[in-house]
Amino acid sequence: MSNIKDKNNRKLKRRSKIRSKIKGTGKCPRLSVFKSNTRVFIQLIDDLKGLTVVSAGMNDLKKDDKKTKVEQAFELGKVVAKKAIDKKITKIVFDRGGNKYHGRVKAVADGAREIGLKF
C-alpha cells in the first residue's frame, strides 16, 4: 500500500514543479493533459483569467474499437488543435500534468503539432 502512496506523492511533486514554471496567457494558453486508465481529457487554459478556452475528451471522438489508446490520444490532439486554430491560437505551453512524456501524453502532443500548434 505504501508504494501506491509514494507513487502518488511523486506525481504530485512533479505536477507542482511543472505548474510553478508554466503559466498560460490569452495569446499562449496552457495545454493541460489529464490521463486516466481509460480516457484522456485535454484543456487549453488561460491562467490569467482562469478560463478554459478549448476542451476535448475521448467523448469527442468517434467510437472505433480497433484503435489503441495511443492512436485515440493522437486523434484527440488533432481535435484540440483544430479547435484552437479556429479560435486563432497557434502557440501554446504544454502541461503534461505530472505524467511522464511518453505513450498517450506524447501522442497528444504529436497530434497537436501535426495540425500546426507550436510549443
pLDDT single digits (tens) 12-34: 899 898 888 888 888 899 999 99
pLDDT of amino acid 21: 87
User: Grid coordinates standing for 78?
Assistant: 488533432
Average per-residue pLDDT in the chain? 92
Residue in the block written with cell 498560460: 24
pLDDT of amino acid 34: 95
pLDDT of amino acid 60: 87
pLDDT of amino acid 1: 60
pLDDT of amino acid 64: 79
* Helix (H/G/I), strand (E/B), else coil: 91: strand
Structural domain count of the chain: 1
At 84, phi and psi to the nearest 5?
-65, -40
> Which residue ranges of the chain lie beneath pLDDT 50?
none
In whole angstroms, give the CA distance from residue 45 to residue 48. 9
The pTM score is 0.87
Domain that holds residue 99: 2-115
| CATH code, domain carrying 39 | 3.30.420.100
pLDDT of amino acid 19: 85
